[in-house]
Structure 1
Amino acid sequence: MYPEIRAILDDAEERYLRLEEIVALKHHVSSLAQRLQVYELLRDNEIAIFQPIADQLLVTFPQHKQETIERALKNWLGTLRYCAMAMLLNNPMFLQHRLLEWLTDIIQVHQTQGIDTTLYQFLITRLPEILAEEQMALLQPFLAQVEQAVMGTCSAATVPA
């Protein structure tokens, strides 16, 4: 459940909501409807989002095996799905616990830092072609959270031990 909605309802468990709580609840419910719309757009346009990215990656990284690029694409398909769910839930901790704890390890193990960094750049260029500015603004904090984790992994991978 939305943490903000849960907090409002928990606080008013044995009483009616106060006016300011009702206003806040209406805001969160309205936001949830907007977030659900973005979630559905991402779900329904997943192929339209990622096919051009896949094509660009094959051109950008001809020296890499197709399997390596496919693995990175699968990871990022999952990443966008997790970002969408975290955005829907409005819960950055969901993203941290469900995705980022394993994604950074996968990137390091498979040594796909360059592909992943480029794929992320292609993704943030592609998404505004699918989402309106206000929709992108709902998703952006979660993409930034992933970027910070992935770029940290990529930086750590390039620093000599």
Structure 2
Amino acid sequence: MHSEIKSLLYEAEDHYLTLEEITTAKLCIASLQVRLEIYELLRDQEVTIFQPIADQLLVTFAQNQRDLEQALKRWLLVLRYCTMAMLLNNQEFLQQRLLEWLIGIVQAHRTQAIETNICQLLQNQLQEHLNAQQLALLQPFLAQAETTLLKANAVAEL
């Protein structure tokens, strides 16, 4: 749940919400509606988004099919968790539920080139499937995942 909505609900325990608090609640609910639409769109378009990525990676990294398959599965998870974190508007959710344990797996596989390529191709696909406003809501979570996974992976491969 959005922390702002949760906070407003606690406020409403001992008094009616003020006009300002109601306005804040309406904005949060409107934002939640937009985020839910993005969530549903990405859920429904997941295969359409990832198939061109897989096709391109098969051309570029044909000799690493096993690593490629594992990396694609990881980035499916990344997008799913980023989307849920965006819906919840909670970066801590993403960090605690996915990134804290996934970083070790990414480092162990030493697939920096594949992971970086997937991330870039995913960004390109998302630009094709989402409008600017939708992408702006999702982007902070994708950036968090990219920074955590790819930067740490780059350091681990040095």
TM range (shorter): over 0.9
Trace 1:12-161 onto structure 2 (pairs within 5 A). 12-64=12-64, 66-159=65-158
Q: CA deviation at 1:154?
A: 2.5
Structure 1 runs of 4+ with >6 Å offset: none
- Unaligned stretches of 5+ residues in structure 2: none
Counterpart Cα distance in 1 of 2:87 and 2:47: 20
**Partner-residue secondary structure (3-state), 2:63:** coil
* Equivalent position of 1:6 in the other structure: 6
Q: How many residues align?
A: 158
Give me the whole-angstrom Cα distance separating, in 2, the residues matched to 1:156 and 1:12.
Answer: 48
Superposition CA RMSD, Å:
1.0
Structure 2: which amino acid aligns with 1:106?
I
Partner amino acid, structure 2, of 1:134:
Q
**1:62 to partner: Cα distance:** 2.1
Report if the CA contact (8 A) 1:114-1:154 is conserved.
Answer: no
Paired amino acid for 2:120: Q
TM-score scaled by structure 2?
0.96
Instruction: Give the whole-Å Cα distance in 1 for the aligned partners of 2:114 and 2:71.
Output: 7
- Flag the structure with higher helix content: 2
The one-letter code matched in structure 1 to 2:68 is I
Check whether the contact 1:53–1:123 (CA below 8 A) recurs between aligned residues.
yes
Percentage of matched positions with identical amino acids? 56
Deviation at 1:151, TM superposition (A): 2.4
TM-score by length of 1: 0.94
d(CA) in 1 for partners of 2:156 and 2:131? 35
Between the aligned partners of 1:4 and 1:76, the Cα distance in structure 2 is 29
What runs of 5+ residues in structure 1 fail to find an aligned partner? none
